[in-house]
Amino acid sequence: MRPCDCKSMEEANDLDHSGLTLNNDSIRVRPGIVLLSIGPADIKISMYRFKQFAEWYLEDQNEK
């Protein structure tokens, strides 16, 4: 299961990793939201919006 497919805490808990932490930065998955902790800032964003940003970020902008 992909983290973006989680619809409940039970599903999020079934993931091998429900988050990733590198130094003071982390990303955690909760039902319907993605939690980003970057230094002193905590950002809560909907899974839908996070997926849109990630797809744009990974898309080849010169491919056309």
The per-residue pLDDT for range 3-29, each reduced to its tens digit, is: 777 788 787 777 776 688 999 999 998
Domain that holds residue 26: 3-58
Model confidence at 63: pLDDT above 80: no
pLDDT tens digits for 41-57? 999 999 899 999 999 99
Q: 53: part of which helix (H) or strand (E)?
A: helix 47-58
Report yes or no on 33 lying in a domain.
yes
The encoded tokens of residue 30 equal: 């909760």
pTM confidence score = 0.72
Report yes or no on 64 lying in a domain.
no
* Residue carrying structure tokens 């932490």: 21
Report yes or no on 7 lying in a domain.
yes
Report yes or no on 8 lying in a domain.
yes
Number of structural domains found in the chain: 1
Report yes or no on 63 lying in a domain.
no
Report yes or no on 15 lying in a domain.
yes
